[in-house]
Amino acid sequence: MSVQEFLDNHMLSRKIEDAVNAAVRAKSPDPVLFISNHIKKSVSSVITKITARQVLDSRGIPTIEVDLYTNKGMFRASSPSGNCTGIYEAVELRDGDKGRYLGKGVSRAVKNVNERISEALIGMDPTLQSQIDQVMLDLDKTENKVELGANAILAVSIAACKAGAAEKEVPLYKHIAELSGKTSTVLPVPSFTVISGGAHAGNNLAVQEIMILPVGANTFEEAMQMGSETYHQLKAIITEKYGTSGCNVGEDGGFAPNISSFKEGLDLVKEAIDQTGYNGKIKIAMDVAATNFCLGTKYDLDFKSPNKSGQNFRTGEEMIEMYVQLCAADYPIVSIEQPFDKEDWENTKLLSAHGICQVVGDDLLMLNPKCIERAINESTCNALLLKMNQIGTVTEAIKAVKLAKDAHWGVVTSHRCGETEDSFIADLAVGLATGQIKAGAPCRGERLVKYNQLLRIEEELGERAVYAGLNWRLP
């Protein structure tokens, strides 16, 4: 017997002895079960098994799901996916076999988890999130995770985070807060998608999303009520003006009536807010996703229209004028996401300098630390969109949020158009106190699973629950 084996056996004997004494003191009616549970609790968990599989996301496109095991149980996580990938974004690994799922399969990523990642992580302590993530980064050896796939790495990273929380016997959001060095948690203001356009819907609207933020609510539960009521009031308005077909929904659950202008969509949303009586308590945000309709140095607001007149091209300067006019008009717009092309740093900076609203970097930043640092140094925008799959690990996401918060930026925790039933970003938003969460409309299961988890968290926190509310940008 080796020295290590002797020590291990000695420690186990001590744990058994402690468990027997505890069972005697507790006068347990089932001492065998009591002793077994006591020993399990006293033995530190390690990762014992990791398995991955291919599942489908909310669009019916393959993604990867991971089951990570410790002696505390099994912990499941899955990777979301977006419509497009930026040049600075971590790369999700796809098979490219056009004969299976049109080339979108993820069997290569699954194999990487089941073989290479699993072998590297088995035996590690799940509470050591940064070490687990670093092992995967070292194994990948590329800057954008193209070797193993960001989708493979992310699913394992999230599953390990859940296992770490279970090992510490604390809620997931508390574990995330502790990983970030914080002790306080905040319930975010939900940014509900109510009208979909752009790449997310089949209408002619260029802007990708119009959203509502119940900043005037006192609790997250009240914010959910306000969002739901306004959403259904908007449905009634759209039905009356455009017919029932106008209430078809886009990928994020927002309504997709056949409208073509920013103003037409904003008028509908403003009317719904007024009719529900939440004027002043609900603000409006837009995800323009302008990269989708940028042609050279101009922006084609008719890019989806089959009957283009050629009259709706805007220069960057004209786009800024439009945004300023919309915010100066009677629309309570407080946030604009990706107002220009992913490479249009100059116009984004000029819009931010106007100070009319929060300007959120998405394609511009891709959660890439170098891009974030550049944007901070050049005052290009003033808010970060936190999309986990753009960076690939929990540890890197925490660091990116710290960069943004140190610069006094807002942070929007965000879903993707290709979502799963995983509610992880709800706990992430609370644990990192981002103050804002964008998870789609108050409908569709893969969206509601995030919002419903936030309701549970608020209930669990009870009197300790803090809703970001009017402090949504800097909670």
Nearest to 279 by CA among 210, 331, 223, 211: 331
With a CB cutoff of 8 Å and minimum separation 6, the contacts of 305 are: 204, 260
Residue whose pair of structure tokens reads 């799901």 in the numeric block:
65
Strand partners, 189: 436
Residue whose pair of structure tokens reads 């969002």 in the numeric block:
227
Q: Is 95 annotated as a binding residue?
A: no
Helices (H) and strands (E) in the chain, counts: 15, 14
The amino acid present at 466, given as its one-letter code, is V
With a CB cutoff of 8 Å and minimum separation 6, the contacts of 380 are: 345, 348, 349, 352, 361, 364, 374
What is the distance in angstroms between the CA of the first residue and the CA of the last residue of the chain? 57
- Decide: 151 and 63 in contact? Cβ < 8 Å: yes
Q: Is 5 annotated as a binding residue?
A: no
Report strand pairing: 313-315 vs 298-300.
Answer: antiparallel
Both structure tokens of 341: 């092309």
Q: Is 362 annotated as a binding residue?
A: yes
- Provide the 8-state DSSP code for 91: P
- Decide: 398 and 180 in contact? Cβ < 8 Å: yes
In the chain, the largest separation of any two C-alpha atoms, in whole Å, equals 85
- Decide: 158 and 152 in contact? Cβ < 8 Å: no
Burial of 79 (0-12, 13-18, 19+ CB in 10 A): buried
Both structure tokens of 184: 């306080």
HSE-CB at 96 with a 13 A cutoff on CA atoms is 3
Handedness of CA 170, 171, 174, 179 (dihedral sign): positive
Secondary structure of residue 334 in the 3-state scheme: strand
Which run of H or E residues covers position 266? Answer: helix 262-276
Strand partners, 192: 212, 440
HSE-CB at 310 with a 13 A cutoff on CA atoms is 0
Q: Catalytic site residues? A: 252, 387
With a CB cutoff of 8 Å and minimum separation 6, the contacts of 8 are: none
- Decide: 284 and 331 in contact? Cβ < 8 Å: yes
Both structure tokens of 48: 């014992």
Per the annotation, binding residues for Mg(2+) are 287, 337, 362
